Each structure stands twice: as C-alpha cells, then as structure tokens.
Amino acid sequence: MSHYWTHQKERSNIYLIRFICHLASKSGRTFVRFFLPIITLYFFLTSPTTRRSSRQFQQRVGVKKTNSLSVLKHMHWFASTVLDRVYFITDQFQYFDINIKNLDVIEKVLADSQKCILLGAHLGSFDVLRTMAVSKNKLSLKILMQRSHNEMVTGVLEGLNPDIAGTVIDLADEDAILEIQQSVDQGYSIGILGDRHAGKERLVSANLLGGKVEMPAGPFLLASIFKVPVVVFYGLYRGANRYDIIFELLSDNVDISRQHREQDLQAICQQYCDSLERHIKIEPKNWFNFYDYWHDEK
C-alpha cells in the first residue's frame, strides 16, 4: 500500500464547503441530497485518479460489471457519507436508521478493561460512531488523526461542534505520544483508522483481497504497550438513511514480544486485514481509499 494519499491535494473550496455545510445543517437531509448527483458528477468528470482507483478496486473485489456507471455509484456512496457527517456532527440522528450489531462486544470490553483501541478503516463512515460516542456519552474516546489531510473539510465540520473537535489528537504534534499516554491514563479509549500509513512509521505486510498491502503497526504497538484490547468497528452505509455499526473483538491481549516482534505484528495485522476483507465484501461501495492502494498501476 502506498502513502500516495498524503500527497493528494485537497480538492475543495473553503467557501463552497461552508455553504454546503450551512445548507445541510439548516435544511432537511432529503432536500440537500438532491444536490448529490451534481456534486458526484463534477468529481467524476474532474478526477481521473478517483475513477481509475475505483475501477481497479471493483475489479479486485469481484464486481461483475465494472464501468462508468459503477464508478459513479461508488463515488455517490462516498458523497452521501460525507454529507451525512454534517448531520452526525450536529447531533441530528433523527434522520437515520442506525443498526448496532455486536454491541455486547464493546460493552464487555469496557466492563472488563474500561478502555480499548477502537480500530476502524476508510470503509463507510467513521463519524457515525465517533459522534454517537461523544453525544450520547457512551464512550470516552480520543481520536488519532492527521489534521493536515483534508484540513479544510475537517476544520469546517468540527467548527459545527467544538466537543467533537476536542476529541482529536493530531499525530503531527510533537506531544502526540504524551497526549495519548495521558488520555489512556485518564480512562479514554483510543480510536484510529488502521488501513493507511503516512510513510514515516513502522509497517507490516499482510494480504488483502488477493494482494499484498502494508499496514501501520502503530495501533497494535499501542495496544501492546498500554495493555488494552483491540476492538474493530465499521460504520457501513447501507443506502438511503441506513447505517450498520459493527463491532468485533480483534484481540483482548495484544502481546508483541521482543523476540518475535515481526511475527507477532504480522499475525495481528493479518487478523485485521481478514476482518476488513469480510466487511468490504458485505458492501464494496463503502471502500473509500481512492488511490492506487495495491500498486495495480505498476
């Protein structure tokens, strides 16, 4: 897997983002969704990289008929979840039918350990879980992310809800490790997306959808250092106003030994990729890594 995504320029206009967010937050979801086909078509026509990566992914996952229409549907799925972030962040859950699966998994982990590594991916919506956790006070959560990527969109969205912005630990900060340590000590769970790396961290090779990928080792090293379980979650968009939040226990004890560090990391990372692959196949249009993830172009 390449860290090419870190070099992609943010294709956004701050005034347009603010206008759309204002319109979405003040209008009903049904009204704003009328604009989605236009927005989707614009990015379809102006982003050959996105079109190409969508087509390559669909071929890899086994979509029977891959063409411009299937790529448009894939991009429309993504646009839908981006728009829905406005409603999640502003606590407007009344627009959605959200089905939580395996809730007992996270409840048991929190009852036993009080905290965990909550490991997600760019598969579906991260915000559907993040905002529910914060607004419903069901989970004390800190999010690890790089603010510099999609900085305009992130800044505008978090401006809608300062409580959400306060949950973020920027991995680019010099004191990020100290902030993580303090948060864990205070009983916070740590949320992180584990399917991309920035090119400056320890990597682990694994298999995903029939190809080799390189995943960041960071989430698993954190779990080993802080002695906390790892719970995988997915916020799968199911069309219309429906989302499935799914929890899976990846490991209740990540033990990365010095003697077998590479083998231990590879084993737990492959478990994560196996889980990721199962859920990609449930609804492939939720895959939102729009770049040459498997180096297919090489």
Digit-coded pLDDT (tens) for 120-146: 999 999 989 888 776 665 789 999 988
Confidence of residue 286 (pLDDT cuts 50, 70, 90): very high
Predicted confidence at residue 45, as pLDDT, reads 95
Sign of the torsion formed by the C-alpha atoms of 154, 201, 270 and 185:
negative
CA 93 to chain centre: 19
What's the whole-number mean pLDDT along residues 63-67? 93
Residue 210 vs residues 43, 61, 263, 294: alpha-carbon distances, Å:
29, 9, 20, 10
Q: Poorest-confidence range of 4-18, 226-240, 243-257?
A: 4-18
Per-residue pLDDT at 285 exceeds 50: yes
Report the predicted TM-score, pTM, of the whole model to 2 decimal places. 0.92
Instruction: Tell me the average pLDDT of the chain.
Output: 89
Instruction: Report d(CA 118, CA 223) in Å as an integer.
Output: 10
Sign of the torsion formed by the C-alpha atoms of 102, 104, 105 and 110:
positive
Widest CA span in the chain:
58
Per-residue pLDDT at 219 exceeds 80: yes
Per-residue pLDDT at 211 exceeds 90: yes
Predicted confidence at residue 152, as pLDDT, reads 66
Per-residue pLDDT at 91 exceeds 70: yes
Predicted confidence at residue 198, as pLDDT, reads 76
Per-residue pLDDT at 10 exceeds 50: no
Quick one: which H or E segment has residue 246?
A: strand 242-251
What's the whole-number mean pLDDT along residues 217-244? 96
Per-residue pLDDT at 44 exceeds 70: yes
- The runs of H, that is alpha helices, within the chain are 14-26, 29-32, 36-46, 48-61, 68-89, 103-113, 127-135, 151-159, 162-165, 176-185, 218-226, 261-282
Instruction: Report d(CA 183, CA 180) in Å as an integer.
Output: 5
Instruction: Report d(CA 68, CA 60) in Å as an integer.
Output: 16
Is residue 19 within 8 Å of 212, Cβ to Cβ? no
* Residue bearing tokens 């039918």: 97
What's the whole-number mean pLDDT along residues 205-216? 97
What's the whole-number mean pLDDT along residues 224-249? 96
